[in-house]
Amino acid sequence: MDILENLKKYFGYDSFRKGQEELIRNILNGKDCLGVLPTGGGKSICYQLPALMMEGLALVISPLISLMKDQVDSLVENGIKAGLINSSLDIEDYRNTLRKIKNGELKILYISPERLENDFFISFIKQCNISFIACDEAHCISQWGHDFRPSYKLIPKIYDQLGGNLQITAFTATATKNVRDDIIENLKLKDPFVKITGFDRENILFEVKKPNDKLKFLENYLKDKADLSGIIYASTRKRVDKTYMKLKNKGYRVTRYHAGLSENERKNNQEDFLYDRKNIIVATNAFGMGIDKSDVRYVIHMNMPKDMESYYQEAGRAGRDGEKSDAILLYSGQDIIVNKYLISQSQNKEYQFVKLNKLQSIISYVNTNMCLRKYILNYFGQDAEDSCNNCSNCLDTYEKLDVTIDSQKILSCIYRLDQRYGMTTVVDCLKGSRSQISKEKGLDKISTFAIMKDSSKKYIKDLIGVLVADGYIRVSGLEFPILKLTEKSKEVLFDKKNIFIKNIKEDKSKIKYSTNYSNYDLSLFNRLKKLRLNLSKKRNIPPFIIFSDASLIDMAKIKPQNDEDFLRVKGVGEKKLIQYGDIFIKEISEYQNENRLNLKNSPKLNDIKS
């Protein structure tokens, strides 16, 4: 059976997504591989499918217990023999899993990297036929990454334990060039096949807002989304609790997650969200890594994250099923202060330097005039069109304000100050400050002194933010950030390049959020969701493991009436056809019969006229 037949049989797809087939064929040919695919791009299939087709047992190293459980449950639902070993297992389950491995009853085994420190496990696994090792969330091995895990440094030791000819594959969604190089070096990948399919999530609408009242914005956004699944991130426990209580008091089915809750409460709250008992979760960034819930329709950040990698991974938890979803970042100047304070708590100066540079990248993101998608893709080293028509910078109704002269004043001031000062001093000079500090620095002797005395400090700081974001100014220095000019600044100072900023109007009619259901039968979709929920309760597995929203949407389009039709649905393979086909086909048939009956009994036009 070839790889396409296996893809359909076990995973229910008729074709591969971008990059999947090349990675799978290289793994089958014995090559080490590094795959960089966007969240929702199908990374798991890249190692799960070859694991089915190769002799022996594939080891998958994964960072979180919740991720392992969801992955294994999903594989078992698809008819694939998979298991896991981690600290959540009781002794009986642990022994049972070892017995299955010994008898060759498993094809895929998920473990945490810490398991590699267990002498008994290593001794046991040495006796097994290991087909290859897959390292998921591979960016965790890089100190340049946003989510470095020291335990991932244990992985290369497996060469000493299992032999140097071992085949290793690595997968991640967010990896800059530095991180990719680190992964290859630290995992000791041998002449790896590297496939980067791109970082774009076309189905996600990216939006940046700076509302005066973030909770009010959230309240307005959620008005018509009471039944949709969403994640709301806040930077501190206090902010999580405040947002949670606000939504709870408004009657939303909401839960929360942060380190201040007991382990049992965090576990229960996470399960409430995964099992659709609650459809909104408010959380710190401690929540989410390894969450495989496919039907999250929106991710909202109430505060600016610490770097682009963190933001893009968290935002990428929306729309994993490929359906339209929203990623909205709400920010204020206070967010920058909080993040800088948290970074300053480290005693490691090199760490501070790296983290402040990364913080600057997301400060630039919230200030940029360019297409947000283009900014994100450029950050990860990918070219992009100037407009995506699916982000707030491309869609918002706004006027362009020409701020070229003010930009020239700011750039000139930085130059006249010999590029030796930070934002506060530059603003003081432009405003004509007469403070004691300004006098000591001799600002009143600078030719640009007081040339923007009629502009507000906020306006000047915001404009500096735009000039930094779009590459006309760079920020240098660790403890005391200094503003310096770039080569690009010459375009404004000498080449008369115009600079524009946005004057946002209140009319947001062009922004269309993720509640567009025009291309399928919404009533049938909601009915199938209820059926899925009932089945998930009986089987004690999350609803999205039975079928993703994308599969239910496909059913609501196709309305399958027999097995052949049902196999045409995205995500339906042989096992799911056998297990669920009759149940869902019957529900669809009953829905159609009821609709025909309602139509037959509805008043005719002539009856209404009479």
- Non-local CB neighbours of 474 within 8 Å, separated by 6+ positions: 468, 483, 484, 485, 486
- Class of the 522-601 domain? mainly alpha
DSSP letter string over 107-130?
Answer: SEEEE-GGGGG-HHHHHHHTTS-E
| Averages of pLDDT over each 10 residues, the chain, 610 residues | 90 92 96 90 93 95 82 92 90 93 95 89 91 92 72 84 87 86 92 92 92 92 90 93 96 94 90 92 77 88 91 90 92 79 79 83 88 94 92 80 94 96 95 94 95 94 86 78 92 88 54 62 93 93 91 94 94 94 96 77 44
Q: Dihedrals φ, ψ of 390, to 5°?
A: -150, 40
Q: For residues 59 and 600, what is the distance between their CA atoms, to the nearest angstrom?
A: 58
- Contact between 206 and 391 (Cβ < 8 Å): yes
pLDDT for 289: 55
DSSP 8-state class, residue 252: -
Q: For residues 348 and 398, what is the distance between their CA atoms, to the nearest angstrom?
A: 43
Q: For residues 317 and 294, what is the distance between their CA atoms, to the nearest angstrom?
A: 8
- Contact between 241 and 249 (Cβ < 8 Å): no
DSSP letter string over 361-419?
Answer: HHHHHHH--S-HHHHHHHHTT----S--SSBHHHHS-EEEEE-HHHHHHHHHHHHHTTT
Q: For residues 293 and 543, what is the distance between their CA atoms, to the nearest angstrom?
A: 9
pLDDT for 604: 46
pLDDT for 605: 39
On the CB side of 82, CA atoms within 13 Å amount to 25
Does the fold of domain 204-397 match that of domain 3-196? yes
- Class of the 204-397 domain? alpha beta
DSSP 8-state class, residue 603: P
Sketch the domain layout of the chain as residue ranges.
Answer: 3-196, 204-397, 399-504, 522-601
CATH classification of 3-196 is 3.40.50.300, yes or no?
A: yes
- Non-local CB neighbours of 267 within 8 Å, separated by 6+ positions: none
Q: For residues 152 and 141, what is the distance between their CA atoms, to the nearest angstrom?
A: 5
pLDDT for 537: 92
CATH classification of 399-504 is 1.10.10.10, yes or no?
A: yes
Selection from 508, 430, 453, 512 nearest residue 203 by Cα: 512
pLDDT for 509: 43
CA distances from 468 to 146, 211, 369, 422, 476 (A): 22, 21, 11, 12, 11
